Amino acid sequence: MNRKDTNVSGTDFYIPVPEGFQFAHCLDYLGRSEEECLYEIHGQAVRKLFVLSDRLVLLEFSNDGSRRIQAAVLHGGPLQDSEQQMVEKYVREWFDLERNLEPFYSLAAEDVLLSKVVKSLYGLRIVGIPDLFEALCWAVLGQQIHLSLAYALKRRVTYAYGSALDWNGTRYYSFPSPKQLLAASPEELGAMKVSRAKSAALLEIARSMESGELNREMLLGLGDYEQMGERLQRIKGVGPWTSHYVRMRCLGDSGAFPIGDAGLRNAVKSAAGLAVKPDEACLRELFLPWKGWEAYATFYLWRTLY
């Protein structure tokens, strides 16, 4: 019996997607590095480990070209209704499914630089990191280092402090919770080649989130992305680039603009045929026509790099 054609024992469910959404483009993004440790690409599907109701649940997400994502519970099911709702919410935020992209596409169609990029990647959405703690830690770990090293640091931290599940010969991991990471000492993180400043930032973020002082709902409740960014930058080690990155990947701010990003400068240099990488003044001027959609312009330009 084909699992895609039936919902056996409540193990499969479906999440509607908007017209034009291209799961394949998002999957390509997810599969951009073999060093990723928080999900596994299997053919045309992605498998991810969740912690639901204090138990480990492994799910597989796929799309057959129809306007829905199929979610199959591989281990830990069946899900309770509340758990399924949590997963559905996560997936909608993961792939930014609630956003109307027509204004962005209309803008890009008239733009010399963006039109070709968007045409080739039409249907791609910002692939988010819905968990605030993971998003903040990933942004901090990735500050001012090569992407491959950032992946290595994330893998070391995840393997040491995250939860793990062995299933069908593969070990799947979830990113540590704030409580789990607080079991780490600065010395242990340092032994993993996490710098002293980054270790301090990670542990401060973990303490703030474990105490309830900081959480995603609180930030979103501010109702203003600039205020959210200001709140994030109260954390020592979180500057403008990190706060804009988290606004972009976790908080749903389509106008977030990580202007200091080295990859963005490389992408613009290549796409615009510039002789040298643009400075911040040049980037600000270039992005003026894309106001309100800076995050999407950035994400699409990033994709031209790999």
- pLDDT value for 292: 96
Hey, which residues are catalytic here?
Answer: 261
Map out the domains of the chain as residue ranges: 3-98, 132-249
- The CATH superfamily label for domain 132-249 reads Hypothetical protein; domain 2 (1.10.340.30)
Are 41 and 61 in contact, with CB atoms under 8 Å apart?
Answer: no
Q: Which of 221, 267, 228, 258 is nearest to 139 (CA)?
A: 258
pLDDT of residue 6: 33
- Residues in the chain, overall count: 306
Bridge partners of 45? 42, 62
What's the pTM?
Answer: 0.93
pLDDT at position 3 is 37
Q: What is the pLDDT of residue 20?
A: 93
Which pLDDT score, from 0 to 100, does residue 9 have?
A: 38
pLDDT tens, position by position, 42-100: 999 999 999 998 899 999 999 998 999 999 999 998 999 999 999 999 999 999 999 99
Class level of CATH domain 3-98:
alpha beta
Query: Residue 52 forms beta bridges with which residues?
Result: 55
Burial level of 298, CB count in 10 A (0-12/13-18/19+)? buried
pLDDT of residue 150: 95
Q: How far apart are CA 43 and CA 126, in angstroms?
A: 21
> How far apart are the C-alpha atoms of 170 and 161, rounded to whole Å?
18
Contacts of 39 (CB under 8 A, 6+ apart): 30, 46, 47, 48, 49
The whole-angstrom separation of Cα 43 and Cα 264 is 29
Mean pLDDT of the chain: 94
- Stretches where the chain sits below pLDDT 50 are 1-10
Q: Which residues contact 35 (CB under 8 A, 6 or more apart)?
A: 148, 151, 152, 155
